[in-house]
Structure 1
Amino acid sequence: MEKEKRFFQAILILLLFLAQPDADAENRFAPVDSLVVQSIAGQVFPSASIAVIYKGETVFHKAYGRLTYDRRSPAADTTTIYDLASLTKPVVTTSVIMQLSERDSIDIDAPVSRYLPEFSRNGKQEITIKNLLLHNSGLIAHRFFIRTCSTPDEVMQAICNEPLQSPPGSNTKYSDLGFITLGRIIERITGRTLAENFRARFSQTLGMHSTMFNPPFALHGLIAPTERDTSWHLEKERPLVHDHNAALLGGEAGNAGLFSTSGDLAVFVRMLMNEGRHNGQSFFSAATLKRFTERYPGSRSLGWDLRSIEGRSSSGDYFSAASYGHLGYTGTSIWIDPEKDLAVIALTNRVYPTSENIRIRGFRPELHNTVVRCLELVGK
């Protein structure tokens, strides 16, 4: 009996020890705390959730602020759900295309018209899937389709009718229209929606249970609010997503619409950092990942952005030239440095209450610089 008592006491002490916060991590990342707290005080954003992955481990994961600037608003935590905006492009659309290309269901060097014949109108017959991924298709950057369209089919017809702004491959110009088109191509090839594709191929297996398009009303209280839309004039209910075109497309599009948490994204990012593998399962090969994250002219890779060689990057001053990442208009970002084996996920709702607030442009590089300094990786 006495032996059993000592055994259970030892187990209890061990559990209590494991439950204690990592004081070393807290102290090491104190400068990150200061930066984020000061940024909230300066109304860069009302809330943030930051995750740092280093050498395959999440070494820092913390949330800050409240969902709005109102002191009565619920506090954010690491399970707060954020509108990822354009992070949808690499996390969903690009990742599904990576799998489809690896399994010979899509040829990224083929013209878009092979999969979407109606796209070839007005001189677009030479645009390839690769051009859309690289944002050098010659398509215009953005259109407010709500002004001329009222259904998803009308949006796609409008994109197919778009004229070229420049010859394919001649000019890099970030375009939402290209990724809306890629989302439709995925649906055409697979016969399943974008959401079904991502759930079956990635989120379900990775255990990303808080990652979804069109989150149900029951979860709305857990979602960091974004900007109020004052221009929606359609009779049908507006989907929650901040992006106007994604809302018009039903809340689910190749350019935007995904909601997630920093914890879920940390799992996804660790999979990328492990060359496409997680818990013994391969989501795509290391060769496919390398192909999609290598540098092309225009400081872009296939679906991902790359650290700028000239000028200051949102990834700061210390991430290597091999780094890849992406930003979301709502105030979200992912940056991965394979040379340092380091990634930073930053989720905020900087567009609340208005997207005219662009202070996050100064915050992003400073956050990444601070993380690198905390890990003592400057110059490494």
Structure 2
Amino acid sequence: MISKIEEYCLKNISNHNFNCIAVGVIDFESKEFETIQITSEDHYEDVELYFDLASMTKPLTFGVAYLAHPEIFDQNMHLLLTHRSGLPRWGRLSKSSWKEQILSYEISESETVYSDFGALRLQLEIEKKTGTPLYDISSTFWDKKVKHWTDLELEVSPITGRRNRKLISGEVHDDNAYIIGEKISHAGLFASIEGVCKTLLNLDNQLDLLKTIGVDHEGRYCFGWDTVEDPEKTLAGAGASKNTFGHLGFTGTSMWIDPEAKKGHVILTNETQGYWYDRLKLNKLRREIGSLNLNNSR
């Protein structure tokens, strides 16, 4: 099932900004998955790498909380969940006052504007409603190989860039998440490819992921997950149905699930190790891997 994808990655890794890539393909009908991990660095050979998931953290935290406890989500929380809350996209936050800053914004229905601040506000609202840390709710459904970056110990992570002239490895790439240093919802999770695949299967087995997300949705975001707006251009790959859902991560990660085909794929890379502003080759790879997975399954 994954041999064509492996062949494609081996052929093309030298042409990309990343030097590590892991791919998983999931069959939700048979509840099976296959993975590959490829690197051009000798010291990463035969090591299970933990990648910075970046914004894939969002659906794996508050997206999971919605699946587990949809009854707690009021109108404002639904606006936050679908990035229509009117909160700013992003801005600098401090460790001492980030909560006060995030809580200072008024929630008001808006057009869709993808927002890290909205993600953080939703975490605070969930924790206020439940009296429970968001990570305590969501991590119940994660595989053991999905971890917050502050919980990493001996795990090996590829370099994702530089901060203060030092290489970033095993620390979250996102500056706000790094400065805050807490378990927050917009970024911070690390995982191996096996960990993500097993987690997605867990979510389907325990929380009916495929029957809940993406089906007959309105708007771009569905309960914390991104969806396919244009099947002809989607990064999920040619052949993805209109109900396909998933999420991207800034570090060069992505996951997509087609509930009609009952197939999914996960891509983890360290795309940002050198620079982040050229995504043309990465997006071509995302589309190609998605197409290979979907077309190989039909």
**Normalised by the size of structure 1, how large is the TM-score?**
0.70
Partner of 1:140: 88
Change (3 A) 1:225 1:163: same
1:40–1:46 Cα contact (<8 Å) kept: yes
Deviation at 1:290, TM superposition (A): 4.1
- Written as runs of structure 1 = structure 2, the 5 A alignment for 1:1-380 is 25=1, 29-54=2-27, 55-66=29-40, 71-75=41-45, 77=47, 79-101=48-70, 104=71, 106-109=72-75, 128-145=76-93, 149-151=94-96, 154-162=97-105, 168=109, 170-199=110-139, 201-203=140-142, 208-216=143-151, 218-220=153-155, 222-230=156-164, 240-272=171-203, 276-277=204-205, 283-284=206-207, 286=208, 290-309=211-230, 312-358=233-279, 359-375=281-297, 377=298
Q: Distance in 2 between matches of 1:307 and 1:300?
A: 9
1:58–1:266 Cα contact (<8 Å) kept: no
Change (3 A) 1:132 1:213: same
Change (3 A) 1:76 1:96: farther
Q: Distance in 2 between matches of 1:313 and 1:76?
A: 33
Note the aligned Cα RMSD (angstroms).
2.6
Q: Look up the SS of the partner of 1:252 in the other structure.
A: coil
Q: Distance in 2 between matches of 1:251 and 1:74?
A: 28
Q: Distance in 2 between matches of 1:160 and 1:251?
A: 17
- Tell me the alpha carbon deviations over residues 311-341 of structure 1, each in whole angstroms, 9 at most, x when there is no partner: 5111011111111111111111111111111
- Tell me the alpha carbon deviations over residues 29-77 of structure 1, each in whole angstroms, 9 at most, x when there is no partner: 44312321233110242111111112334353111114xxxx4432265
Deviation at 1:355, TM superposition (A): 2.0
Change (3 A) 1:93 1:196: same
Larger radius of gyration: 1
Q: Look up the SS of the partner of 2:246 in the other structure.
A: strand
Q: Distance in 2 between matches of 1:271 and 1:258?
A: 17
Q: Distance in 2 between matches of 1:289 and 1:373?
A: 19
Paired letter, 2:296: C
Deviation at 1:158, TM superposition (A): 1.5
2:16–2:282 Cα contact (<8 Å) kept: no
Q: Distance in 2 between matches of 1:356 and 1:219?
A: 31
2:213–2:245 Cα contact (<8 Å) kept: no
Paired letter, 1:90: P
Q: Look up the SS of the partner of 2:284 in the other structure.
A: helix
Q: Distance in 2 between matches of 1:179 and 1:217?
A: 23
Q: RCO (CA 8 Å, sep 6+): is it higher in 1 or 2?
A: 2
Q: Look up the SS of the partner of 2:100 in the other structure.
A: helix
Q: Distance in 1 between matches of 2:158 and 2:38?
A: 12
Deviation at 1:107, TM superposition (A): 3.0
Change (3 A) 1:295 1:88: farther
Unpaired runs of at least 5, structure 2: none
Structure holding more strand per residue: 2
**Normalised by the size of structure 2, how large is the TM-score?**
0.88
Deviation at 1:289, TM superposition (A): 6.2
Q: Distance in 2 between matches of 1:318 and 1:158?
A: 42
Identity of aligned residues (%): 24
